[in-house]
Amino acid sequence: MSEAALIGRSGTGRHIAYVLRSNPVTALAASGTLLLVLVAVFAPALVPYDPVASNVPHALEPPSRAHWAGTDQLGRDIFSRVINGGHIVILLALSGTALGLVLGAILGLLSGYIGGWFDNILQRILEALISIPFLVLALMAIAAAGPEAAGDPVLIVLVIALVYAPRIGRMARSAAIDIATRDFVTVARLRGESAWSVMRRELLPNATSVLLVEFALRAGYAPVLIGSLGFLGFGMRPPTPEWGLMISENRALIIISPICVLGPGLALASLVVGLNLFTEGLARILGRNVKLGTR
């Protein structure tokens, strides 16, 4: 039986299972990412030590039964800090990306549906923001917020949303332009529905697949942006166990105690690789559903 026939008979749930069985890499990435997210969510209950409490007499201890990954230069348990750091990074990444998705979806869908001068002006603004590299735009936003806001998690969430909203908006606009030509949108217009009503009831449900893939893609890179800001000193403030900040604090110890740097570095790499492999599988699943869409 062909894949298309299987999809037609079994629906989305069976299709997802089929894709996961036929692509072990996607299944492994999905499982690994889910495990990392669960560990991050329950981090406060899993860590054996206080991740911010110093214990200088036990500084730079090698891995042992008491400290599975050893301790850093202040005697803090590295394993506890890495696990708790995942809690912080994933929370910031998902919150910032979700806010960027909402803003980008609203702007993109309205722009693609309304068109005209509104679309032209908005797209020029989005293009100007997109032309600025991720990290540069993030640093500009943090600098504009002022030193009193430095290290504020809310600021980091807003910065991630600012960086991603223009890119998500462009994708949402492309989807809206395609969907706006379909018959059910024409019928909604003839009924006299407002632009906001058409966007909410007609465009948004049919652009969900595109937006979900965009969310997963951006969420996969958000930890890198957060880590980069932390490494450069523009992210979370000490003693917060954020991965980029941990790497920055311990980079001088890479020869003496490499686990201090390798621990958060490997955690960050594992999360990013897992999320990106999972995104590829999600795009394959949802991409096929878009082609077989009922509307």
Domain boundaries, given as residue ranges, for the chain: 3-291
Query: Of all residues in the chain, what percent are helix, strand and coil, respectively (each to 5)?
Result: 80, 0, 20
Is pLDDT at 195 greater than 90 in this prediction? no
Residue 71 DSSP symbol: B
Specify the pLDDT at position 289.
Answer: 47
The fold of 3-291 is MetI-like fold (1.10.3720)
Would you say 281 and 19 are in contact if contact means Cβ atoms under 8 Å apart?
yes
Q: How many helices (H) and strands (E) does the chain have?
A: 12, 0
Specify the pLDDT at position 17.
Answer: 66
Specify the pLDDT at position 231.
Answer: 94
pLDDT, tens only, 40-96: 778 878 888 999 988 888 899 889 888 889 999 999 999 999 999 988 999 999 999
Specify the pLDDT at position 3.
Answer: 40
pLDDT, tens only, 1-32: 334 444 444 455 665 666 667 677 777 777 87
**CB neighbours (10 Å) of residue 259?**
23
Specify the pLDDT at position 10.
Answer: 44
Pick the closest to residue 190 from 177, 204, 202 (CA basis). Answer: 202
**Which percentage of the chain shows pLDDT scores above 70?**
89
pLDDT band at 190 (very low <50, low <70, confident <90, very high): confident
Residue 77 DSSP symbol: B
Question: Which residues are CB-contacts of 49 (< 8 A; sequence separation ≥ 6)?
Answer: 67, 76, 77, 80
Q: Which residue has the tokens 């500009």?
A: 140
* Terminal C-alpha separation, the chain: 26
